[in-house]
Structure 1
Amino acid sequence: MFLVVGLGNPGPEYAGTRHNAGFMVVDRLARELNIPVGRQVFFSLTGRGQLEGRQIMLAKPMTYMNESGRAVASIMRWHRLTPADLLVVSDDLDLPVGRIRLRRAGGHGGHRGLQSIIQHLGTNGFARLRMGIGRPVHEGTDVVDWVLGRFTPEEGPLIEQAVAAAAEAVRVVVTVGLEEAMNRFNAGPVR
C-alpha cells in the first residue's frame, strides 16, 4: 500500500488557508479517484482505494500541524509501511505560489509538520511534495499570520493549477515512480 498524507490543520476556520495546501491536494485526489476521506482512525481522516491496481491510502492528520508525526507514525506502524511507501504533501514558504517540487528526502526547512514526522519516524528519508505558498509580501508581516491566511484573488488561479498539478504528480509517483515524477514536475512553473 502507498500512503499519501496531506498536511494541514483541522477545522473550518483553517479551510483554504496557505498552511492547508496539503489538505487541498488530498481532497482533489479523493474526488478524482472516488476515495472518500472520512474514516477517522490513527488521529487522521483516511480513505483507501485503488490507483491503477495499486492500493493507496489518503490521509489528513487531525492532530494540527505540529503533531502530524504522531498520526503518520501510527498509520505506518499499523499497516507495516516503510518510508519508501510514504509521500507527504505540504506547503512551502520558499517556493512561489504556483510552483510544486518533489524531493526524495531532506530536512524540514522549518516546517513544523515535516519536523514532527521526521521526529516520530526517526528518519527524513521519505518523499515529499512541496506546494509553494510564497513568503509575506509586506515587510513586517508575521509568518504565522501569513501561513494561516488565505490566498489572494490573484493567487487563486495559480493555486488551482498547482493543486491540479500536484494531484497529477502524486498519481505519477504512485503508478510510475518518484524519479519520473521529479523529472516531469520539477522542471518549472505549473503550466
Structure 2
Amino acid sequence: MKMIVGLGNIGTRYDETRHNAGFMVVEQMAHDYHLGAFTHEKVEAVTATGLIEGQKVMLVKPTTFMNESGRAVKPLMEYYNIALENLIVINDDLDMPVGKLRLKRRGASGGHNGLKSLIDHLGTRDFYRLKLGIDHPKNGSVVNHVLGRFSTEERPVIDDTVMEAEKVLVDWVKGKSFDQLMNEYN
C-alpha cells in the first residue's frame, strides 16, 4: 500500500490556507477517486483508503498541528507496515513561487516544522516529498503569510497546482519511479 501524507493544520480555521497545501492535494484526490470521507484512525490522523488506478492507497491528514505531524505518521506507518519507499509527504514551501512543484527524494526540513517533526519521528531524512510553492511574503510576518489564504489572483494558480500534484501522485501510485517523476516534473 502507498501512503500519501498531506501536511496541514486541522480545523476549519485553517481550511484553504497556504500552510494546508498538502491537505488540499489529498482532499482533491479523495474526491476525484471517490475514496469517501476522511475517517479517524486510532492514531492522531484521519485517512481515506481505497484504490487509485488499481493500487491500494491511504491518504493521510494528521490531526496534530503541523509541528507534530510525525507523531501521527510514524505509528500509522508501523500499524499498517508501510515501508519508507511507499511514503510520500506533500508540504508547502515558502521558497518557491505559487504554482511551482518540486519533488525531492530526501533532505533536511528547510525550516518547515512539519518536515522537522517527521524527520525526528521517522529517524531519517530519506523519504519522498512533493513540495508546493506558496511564495515568501512580500511584507509582514511569515506566520501570518502561511496561515493566510491565497489571494484572488493566486487561487486559480494553486488550484491548477493541486491538480498537477494529483497527476504526479497518480503516476507514482501507478509505478513510475521517483527518478522518472523528478525528471518529468521538476
Partner of 2:164: 165
CA distance, structure 2, for counterparts of residue 34 and residue 101 of structure 1: 26
Query: For the Cα contact (< 8 Å) 1:2–1:85, is it kept in 2?
Result: yes
| Superposition deviation, residue 163 in structure 1 | 0.5
Structure 1 stretches of 4+ moved >4 Å: none
RMSD of aligned C-alpha atoms?
A: 0.9
- Provide, for residues 157-180 of structure 1, a one-character-per-residue CA deviation record: whole Å limited to 9, x for no partner: 110111110011111111122222
- For 2:129, the aligned partner's letter is R
Query: For the Cα contact (< 8 Å) 1:25–1:166, is it kept in 2?
Result: yes
Count residues in correspondence.
184
Query: For the Cα contact (< 8 Å) 2:101–2:132, is it kept in 1?
Result: yes
Partner of 1:178: 178
| Superposition deviation, residue 4 in structure 1 | 0.1
Partner of 2:17: 17
Counterpart mapping for 1:32-43 below 5 A = 32-41=32-41, 42-43=43-44
CA distance, structure 2, for counterparts of residue 161 and residue 177 of structure 1: 23
CA distance, structure 2, for counterparts of residue 130 and residue 97 of structure 1: 11
- For 2:39, the aligned partner's letter is R
Counterpart mapping for 1:48-127 below 5 A = 48-127=49-128
CA distance, structure 1, for counterparts of residue 98 and residue 48 of structure 2: 28
| Superposition deviation, residue 53 in structure 1 | 2.3
Percentage of pairs with the same residue: 46
Classify the secondary structure of the residue corresponding to 2:98: coil
In structure 2, the gaps of 5 or more residues are none
- For 1:13, the aligned partner's letter is R
In structure 1, the gaps of 5 or more residues are 187-191
TM-score under structure 1 normalisation?
0.94
| Superposition deviation, residue 52 in structure 1 | 2.2
TM-score under structure 2 normalisation?
0.96
Query: For the Cα contact (< 8 Å) 2:53–2:170, is it kept in 1?
Result: no
